[in-house]
Structure 1
Amino acid sequence: MDLALFAGGPFDVRAVVAGILPELHRDLPLDVVPWGNFPHGPDVREAVSALRTDGEPDMDATGVLGGLCANDSRAAVALAVPFLIPLAIDAQHPHRAAALDVLSGPARARYFGVASREELFLHRTDPARHVPDGYDDYGVEVTAYPAGWSVAAARIAITANTPALLPLLDDPDPAIRVEAAYALATAADLDHIVRTALAGGFEAERDPMVRAAFTLATAEITRAHPHPPTVAWLRERWHDDAEVPEVRLAAAIGWLCLTDDPAPEELRRIVDALADDERAHAMEALPWMSFAAGTNESGLLRCRRCMLHPEEPDPESTFLDSLFDQLKG
């Protein structure tokens, strides 16, 4: 199929999102976009409608949106992002946390269970570009829709609304600050506005988990926009024994994802010493870690194994092999 024939038209989620951004507001009618043109579009429309209500949603809206991303079907969820952002930035809306929790899912690709240095911070598609073939970076989703178009569309919406999302880094609720950092890390930050805000927030922040979130967000946005001083800053953070363990671990992971250098022996010792089961469980509060988790393995421990100890067996493979052996027996 020649995707160039569809680029810029009503089946190109990038073009549809770009077309509604100038009108973005909480009461923007849902039917201004052609949900039916995209796989699972009607389901996503219903989920967004549920989240927009002031009362209790009559469906698991975040489960629908998150599940589609987990199942590698992000196109319609990317279309939902412009409708979710006004909810997330409305401090009085009862579902703001839920909206913020899922709005950046389609801006990432292949991130469930991914914990390698190469793919944990997977950002290559430029949202300003309309790549004709759509296959240059991410291939296709399970529905055969070009995954790069979905990722780019979600990032277009988040980037356009960066000024509205930045104040959430100072929200009174630590969980909102964490999720805001997770969302903003996907923005196209050509003017370094997000990285500067994260740096200021890190200096002012006292909550260890939020500081770790700001560290991971800084690393992720630097993956998209290389900045050698930030790489050096991350090295200083994991090297600093006066820093809180959560930040040292986040900085170590971030540094590993931004360099091709072999892991220093000192970094291995630090991560192995700090990444115990209790801390790994606590750091599941960070979406980077919760989404990196696998079967019977937390995200932090999975990152440690994949990045520093690839020779160790994958608990998921071990579990499946054991189950298969039992079924054969």
Structure 2
Amino acid sequence: MLNALDAVDWTRLHGAYGPVTDAPALIRAMAGPDAEAAAKARRLLAGAVCHQGTTYSASAPVVPFLAELLAAGATHHRAELARLLGELAAHGNQRTKHVAAVRAAVTAEADRLLPLLDDADPGVRDGVAFALSQCPKRKRDSAPALRARLGVETDPQTKARILAAVAWLEPASGLAAEALSADQPAPVRAAAALILARSDRPWSAAATEAVRAGWADGEPLERCWWWGTAASPLQDLVAALGKRGTDCAAVLVMLLQSSSAPIRQEAARASAWVVKVHRAARPLLVPVLATALADPSAEVGELAATALHEAGEAARPAAGALARSATVPAIRALVHLGDPRGPALVTAGNVLDVLSGVTGRPSGPFIAYDPAFGAALAATAPAESWGNSIRWLVAAWGPAADAVVPRLLAGDGLAPLVVQALAAIGPAAAGALPRLRTAADGAGPLTERSPFRVHHVEERLAILRIGGDPGPALDAARAALAKLHDRAPAEGYHHVPYDDAVALLDGLGEHARPLLPEIRALLTAHRDFLGLARAAWRLTGAADEVTPTVRRVLELAAGGLRQRTPQHRGDQAADLAAELGDPDLVPLLTPLLADPTPRCRVPAARAVWRLTGRADGLIAPLLKEVTPRPPGYRWAAAFTLLTEMGPAAAAALPELRGVAEHPWCPFVEDFERSPIGGLGHLDDAFLAAARTAVAAIEHGQ
């Protein structure tokens, strides 16, 4: 036994951790009498030759020895060895240059593996079935053998996995449909339903009944390669059924009424994913989720509330049940629906959890201010302990949020987002002025060495917005503009305080008028200072002073469309071009329509439309923003422009109708990444914008 071990030059073979010179000793230990030592050796060898689905130069050479050990009935842990052979050949493995050789090595052992389908150990039968299924070149021999074993297999878990192996090799066979029948054990029926859900075959009432029976008393399937990488086989079933929409919803409705609390928990958790993805599933699931809010299991109730939060406007009929539930997820759902019972349930103890679940985007609040939010936030810990999403929300609320000023000032320091919130609140935050002035006066306007930056931009602008004093911001802007003169002609913006100068000028508004001479001098010397051109335009309205800069930046932006992080803001140049109203800029805007990213397409299309009133060449760039899944981040602006264009955008109608009638939410990828709940409301906004655009184009409304 293992006589050929020493004939292999193991020093030239590598595994996950380098040369596998210890492979002979590990394989011999696996054949030894000590079960514990054999298990340790197997784990070490498996980690080296099949590490997280990656195979190596040593992987194929170990296969014959593993097969030899497996065939030797006295070897310890034979089931694990059989599964290891399957994992080495598995089709989900990383595509390294060794994959083909490894699969060929396992295929070469098929004749030694086939008799083991009748082994006394069900684990060995299971593992061998897995290994054979991953060797399709021997399907002619292995498929009949697997079908024969399936017909006599008595172990339910093993039978379920052999069924999966046969379906893998023969996806067109009807074995899965036959295995749905009531005379099969629960694991087999559950496996058959899962296999059917993954296939292109129609879902059936028998499959739904198999799910009910299979999961009646809990999870029927033990985790393994066949049942995917989801949190559980049930989650894997829901993921596979998700594309079927209403079929999936019907299955979840049934499972939410299961007598098994763990199954109801899994079903409620899965419902949150399904209502994110499939629009038609939302109204079907909402009634049963509303009932589940009162489930004896508190976890089921909270998961049901989370799912309702994800359902968007479709959850409105459940508002009463959500109010009675009064858990944090239920309050989040109510708040996001704009139901007044939501704010009424907010307290100092739950407000941070509630608001952190419904906010998260700096572009604006998801919810309107309510005095209950201010009162609750005013009784919490200092704002320095709040999440950024809540600070953004307070800033978006602006002066209405004056009740939270004491909490914003309660910490030892003033974080940038806290300063922004104070500035947005305005004069009611006057108590912050001494600390803001201390920060602004604590150092000179600029850092002392390159890259030069302005100290405390936000604090200086906050002093203006709260106290009406433009002095600190004006002084810093003057110093920043002076430093911009030092930029070399071919140099970028990194070493000079350009961005800070623009932020200060934008914030100063009319108060920046004393700086016009410096701004004009810089525009003459540096034609790419777009932010300064924008400030000059707003202060003077003199198009002739800023048009040369807009032209230059449009040219530079067109040349940088393929850059990952373009230096020149074509989108801002396009917006300013639209304001200038000069049709001669259109030839410079047109190249930006070909931007492969969402950065410039919509701003350029908007500028061209407003300068010419013609839709030629604009439809395709706008559709690129709204038709992908997920859409571009300027989708709302694209729909707004299509609505503005009206009948002139008639060429977009077929694809826009497809967007408006699509059964799936387009933001699935965003949903899966985002920790913020209630994103079904974003889908509602997307759908409403699409329908508005279609109506405007069809009827000129």
Q: Which residue of 2 aligns with 1:243?
A: 184
Letter in 2 for 1:309: G
Aligned residues of 2:153 and 2:159 also touching (Cα < 8 A): yes
Find out whether 1:42 has 2:23 as its counterpart: no
Find out whether 1:276 has 2:229 as its counterpart: no
Counterparts of 1:185 and 1:101, CA distance in 2: 12
CA-atom RMSD in angstroms: 3.5
Higher helix share: 2
Letter in 2 for 1:42: V
Q: Which residue of 1 aligns with 2:3?
A: 27
Counterparts of 1:105 and 1:328, CA distance in 2: 46
Q: Which residue of 1 aligns with 2:73?
A: 91
Aligned residues of 1:51 and 1:99 also touching (Cα < 8 A): no
Partner SS, residue 26 of structure 1? coil
2:34 to 55, 70, 74: 55
1:154 to 70, 77, 102: 102
1:71 to 15, 36, 52: 52
Which protein is bigger by CA-based radius of gyration? 2
**Unmatched segments (≥5 aa) in structure 2:** 246-269, 274-302, 304-352, 357-384, 388-701
Deviation at 1:293, TM superposition (A): 4.2
Identity %: 23
Q: Bigger relative contact order, structure 1 or 2, given CA contacts below 8 A and separation 6+?
A: 1
Counterparts of 2:53 and 2:191, CA distance in 1: 26
Counterparts of 1:47 and 1:308, CA distance in 2: 44
Give per-residue Cα distances to partners, 1:77-97, cap 9 Å, x unaligned: 343222100000111223433
Q: Which residue of 2 aligns with 1:82?
A: 64
Q: Which residue of 2 aligns with 1:168?
A: 116
Partner SS, residue 85 of structure 1? helix
5 Å-filtered alignment, 1:135-284, equals 139=95, 145-146=96-97, 149-150=98-99, 152-190=100-138, 192-222=140-170, 228=172, 230=173, 232-238=174-180, 240-257=181-198, 259-261=199-201, 263-266=202-205, 269-270=208-209, 272-276=211-215, 279-280=218-219, 282-284=220-222
Counterparts of 1:203 and 1:29, CA distance in 2: 38
Distance 1:70 1:269, change over 3 A: farther
Partner SS, residue 20 of structure 2? helix
Partner SS, residue 210 of structure 1? helix
Give per-residue Cα distances to partners, 1:221-264, cap 9 Å, x unaligned: 225xxxx3x2x2322222x222222222222333444x334x51
Aligned residues of 2:197 and 2:203 also touching (Cα < 8 A): no
Partner SS, residue 2 of structure 2? coil
Distance 1:42 1:191, change over 3 A: closer
Counterparts of 2:39 and 2:224, CA distance in 1: 25
Partner SS, residue 104 of structure 1? helix
Letter in 2 for 1:161: E
Partner SS, residue 284 of structure 1? coil
Distance 1:49 1:277, change over 3 A: farther
Counterparts of 2:211 and 2:140, CA distance in 1: 33
Aligned residues of 1:104 and 1:182 also touching (Cα < 8 A): yes
Letter in 2 for 1:288: W
> TM-score, normalising length from structure 1?
0.63
Distance 1:86 1:166, change over 3 A: same
Counterparts of 1:170 and 1:193, CA distance in 2: 15
Counterparts of 1:170 and 1:58, CA distance in 2: 24
Find out whether 1:305 has 2:250 as its counterpart: no
Aligned residues of 1:268 and 1:308 also touching (Cα < 8 A): no
Letter in 2 for 1:284: E
Partner SS, residue 309 of structure 1? helix
Give per-residue Cα distances to partners, 1:76-127, cap 9 Å, x unaligned: 334322210000011122343332232221211446xxxxxxxxxxxxxxxx
Distance 1:36 1:328, change over 3 A: farther
Give per-residue Cα distances to partners, 1:2-22, cap 9 Å, x unaligned: xxxxxxxxxxxxxxxxxxxxx
Distance 1:200 1:109, change over 3 A: closer
Counterparts of 1:272 and 1:74, CA distance in 2: 36
Counterparts of 1:42 and 1:209, CA distance in 2: 35
